[in-house]
Amino acid sequence: MYRNYHPQARDILLQFLQKFFPDLDHLVWPHPQLEVKPEDIDLQSIFSGTTYEENYRILNQAIRKYNENIPPLVNAYMNLSPSMRYFGTAINHEFGEVDEGGILITIQDVYEKKKKRHLATYIPKFQLPKFKLRIYHRREE
C-alpha cells in the first residue's frame, strides 16, 4: 500500500489479514514490522461476523468509511486460497516507502474457479491435482 492510504483503513485491513490468515508456525516475519496503531478503533470488535464472508463484507464497509478500497492485489490474494498465510507488513524504504506484506499461498489449495484464471498458463510447468486443461493447437495451413 502507498503511504497516502488512510492509516486507520490500513490498520483495519492489516488486522483482518492477521485474524483470517495467521502464520501460526511463525515461519517468517517482517523486520522491522509495521506497527498497527488501533488508537481510536477497537479492531477486534469490528469483525463480528461468524464467517469469513461476513467479515469480508464488514471489512469492505469499514474501509469505505475512510474513502478507501481494499487494494486490488490484496483483494485478489485474499480470495485465492483459504490456506493463505500472512506474515506481517514492513515499509520498503528502497521502493517508494510503500507498505509491503508477506504472504504464502499453497498452489494445491487455490480455489478451483481461480486455477484456470491464474494458473492455466503455467500448467506445462506444474502438475496440479484435480485440474485438467485442454489445449488445442491450431494447424498451420
> In terms of domains, do 13 and 82 share one?
yes
**What is the signed CA dihedral for 102, 105, 110, 116, rounded to 10 degrees?**
70
Residue 1 in any domain: the answer is: no
Q: Name the amino acid, one letter, at 56.
A: Y
pTM, two decimal places: 0.78
At 43-93, the pLDDT tens digits run 667 888 889 999 999 999 999 999 999 999 999 999 999 999 999 999 888
Tell me what the mean pLDDT of segment 96-105 comes to. Answer: 90
Question: What is the distance between the alpha carbons of residues 81 and 131, in angstroms, rounded to a whole number?
Answer: 15
Each residue's pLDDT tens digit, 103-116: 999 888 888 888 87
Q: Are 77 and 31 in contact (CB under 8 A)?
A: no
Residue 2: inside a domain, yes or no? no
Within 8 A by CB and 6+ apart from 46, the residues are 12, 15, 58, 62
CA distance 15 to 12: 5
Residue 124 has pLDDT above 80, yes or no: no
Mean pLDDT of 123-132: 57
- 130 and 68 inside one domain: no
Q: Are residues 129 and 72 in the same domain?
A: no
Range of the domain at 129: 109-141
Task: List, for residues 15-44, the tens digit of each pLDDT value.
Answer: 899 999 999 999 988 888 777 776 667 766
Residues 101 and 116 in one domain: no
Q: In the prediction, which pLDDT does 113 show?
A: 84
What does the alpha-carbon distance between residue 87 and residue 32 come to, in Å, rounded to a whole number? 12
Residues 71, 119, single domain; the answer is no
Same domain for 32 and 84, yes or no, is yes
59 and 117, same domain (yes or no):
no
Domain count, the chain: 2
74-104: burial string, b at 16+ Cβ within 10 Å, e else: beebbebbeebbbbbbbbeeeeeeebebebe
